[in-house]
Structure formats: C-alpha cells, structure tokens
Structure 1
C-alpha cells in the first residue's frame, strides 16, 4: 500500500522533477534512467522497479503533466465557459510540448490506463462546466456528448491532421456541442 505523502510520493516527485529538468536541459533523446536516478537522488533499480523502463517513466510524467491544475474559468454562461475551456484545452494539447506529452502518455502504457486517466481529466473539467450551467438553470448536454463533440475531434486533429487548430475551431466545436440545449444560439 502506497502512503500518500510518504516516501513513495517523495520518490515520485523527485524522479518526475528530474525528468522535467533533464528534458529541458538536454532534450528527451538524451535521457537515460541512470541520469534521471542520479539527478533524483535514487538508485536506477528504484526507477526500474517502479516504472519498468524509460518509456513507462516518461508516460507517467506525461500523465501527471496533463492533469489540470485549476478548475475551468467561470464566465457565467455555458457557451462561454465551454468555449473558454475548449480554447485552453486545444492550446495546451496542440502545442509541441502537449503533443509530446500525449505521445509519451500513450506510448508507455500498452494497457490504456493512462489514456483512461487523461480522458477522465477532460471529463472532470467538462463536468465542472456543466455543473455550473445546471446551477444557473441552463439546459446542457451531458459529459459524453461534449467529449464526443469537442474533445474527440480535437484529439484526432491534434494527432493526425494538425492544421487549422485555432480558437475559432475550438469555439465552433463548443457551439456545436451545446446547439439545441437552452435558448441561446451559439454565435
């Protein structure tokens, strides 16, 4: 059993920090487990036991990086909230660093657990936006509809057709996701 805040958490934080620092200093292709271990102040065997190999370690670091730090901004309106969230999501994920994190998160995880975590991060953020809309009495789609109409097309475009990834694209998807819900027509 891993104790939150115990030695395991300290080791994970030290290793993640070492990976991020070394990537910034040397670039990803130069990373090695012994190099990360030395920077983190642990033995290489600690990293091999916990993560298995470098790709799994990079995947774990990527998933942690993709976890949102703050709740979505509240603009007081479902469409504006969703547009704001979608624009920020697209900007972060479509950046060169975001794409690298997406690739790392998926490559080091053959079972798909990391993909599930990343999906739950987006679903949780969307649930906050939709929950606020419900509190204001606005009609809104469900989380799965927003995932299908906003997140899925964005992720496809980010990974396979990375052109036209603009705020206007994110705003159009958000508008299409809420079309038919409530009185307000998307602009």
Structure 2
C-alpha cells in the first residue's frame, strides 16, 4: 500500500529532476558535448526512461528553456511590473536581473547558446523566442509607458531596452568566460548603481553636446 503513493510521487518528480540534471550538464559541458546518458544518470534514471519524456537532446533543451529558464525570467518581470516612476522601475528590474545572473544558471546557458548558435541555430531561436525577446519587449513596454508619462525622452523603446540590459549581457559573458581564467569578478550590484546613474542621465536628462 505504501509503495503506490511513493512510486507516484517519484514519477511526478521525474520531469523536474530531468530538467535540473539537464541544466547542470548543459551548463558544464555545452550542448554539443552534453550526453543524454549522463543527464539520465544525474537524474537517477536509465537512458530508456529518459527517452519516455524527451526523445532528443534538442527537445530536452527546449524544455529546459520553456520550463526552467523562462519562468525564472518571468519572475523578474512580475517583480518589477508596475513600479513607477521609471527611475525606480529601472533599478528594481536591474537588481532582479543581477540577482539571477549571480546566483542562477541563466548565465552559463546564455553563454552556451551564444557559443553554439551557428552550429545549432534552433537553440538560439528557441532562446530568443522564449527568453530574450519577451524580456526585451517587457522592458520596451515600460520605456514606452514612461515616454507617455513624459519621464523618458523620445526614441525607439526597443533600442532603449537593449541599452538597459546590454551591460549585463557583457557582465554575464565576462563572468562565464574570463573570471574562470583569473580575471577580476564583476560585482553586479555595483554595476547596477553605476549603470543606473549614467543610464538615467541619458534617458531622462538633457541632451549631451556633440
């Protein structure tokens, strides 16, 4: 009698266990070198059982983005939504982004996608569609709303969104590429402070003389 519920709990937990194991392996080895048998082993499953859930490595990676990475980015959006004025929103959003960049597994996956996008373009496409573009569209929408309130100067909201998140993309790549070989680490909270100060001076301040 006791084995039935225990078995059901184990079966229900398998998708999450597989995704967590896949995140670890993709983060450590990249997509090309990741092996399904290693992912299965880390998830405590046989390779045959893994195939019952995900038929290919590409399908598993898509599930990682859709079910693990995208919801994490979604939490950043939800925690920063409807924060006004715009200067407060920008700081709240970037601090959430900094927290995820420092403690989560978004950074190594982002580096992996960038590194292997030419070989595996579908990875980059899924990452763009499920994670990157929704985040940029969210920020662009907040910029456009702030422009409507007269807080932000005229300009392309999407390009402003790229300017807002750009330093963090570089910070992530720096952290994942150069820190492991001895470069100084990026303090993301200090990056937020300095970036917000200079960014808002450009978005909300006076024109800079050329």
Scaled by the length of structure 2, the TM-score of the pair is 0.57
Q: Which of the residues 99, 102, 105 maps onto 1:94? A: 102
Query: Which structure would you say has the larger Rg?
Result: 2
1:157 maps to 171
- Give 1:84's aligned residue: 92
Match of 1:44 in 2: 50
**CA separation of 1:180 and 1:22: change in aligned 2, threshold 3 A:** closer
Structure 2 counterparts to residues 121-136 of structure 1, below 5 A:
121-136=134-149
After superposition, the C-alpha distances for 1:142-172 in whole angstroms (9 at most, x for unaligned) are 4333343232221112222462323231132
Mark the CA change 1:144 to 1:128 in structure 2 (over 3 Å): closer, same or farther: closer
Instruction: For residue 49 of structure 1, report the CA deviation from its aligned partner.
Output: 2.7
Q: CA deviation at 1:72?
A: 1.7
| 8 Å contact kept, 1:32–1:54 | no
Name the counterpart of 1:9. Answer: none
TM-aligned CA deviation for residue 104 of structure 1: 5.5
**What is the deviation of 1:61?**
5.0
Q: Which runs of 5+ in 2 are unaligned?
A: 1-11, 29-36, 180-184
CA RMSD of aligned residues (A): 4.0
Question: In structure 1, how many angstroms separate the alpha carbons of the residues matched to 2:21 and 2:54?
Answer: 18
**8 A Cα contact 2:140 2:160, kept in partner:** no
Runs of 5+ in structure 1 lacking a partner? 1-12
**Where is the helix percentage greater, Structure 1 or Structure 2?**
2
Instruction: Check 1:136–1:71 CA distance in 2 against 1; reply closer, same or farther (3 A cut).
Output: farther
Contact kept, 8 Å, 2:17 with 2:43, in 1: the verdict is yes
Structure-1-length-normalised TM-score: 0.63
Is 2:40 the counterpart of 1:18? Answer: no
Aligned residues: 168
Q: Structure 1 175/148 Cα, relative in aligned 2: closer, same or farther at 3 Å? A: farther
Matched with 2:34 is none
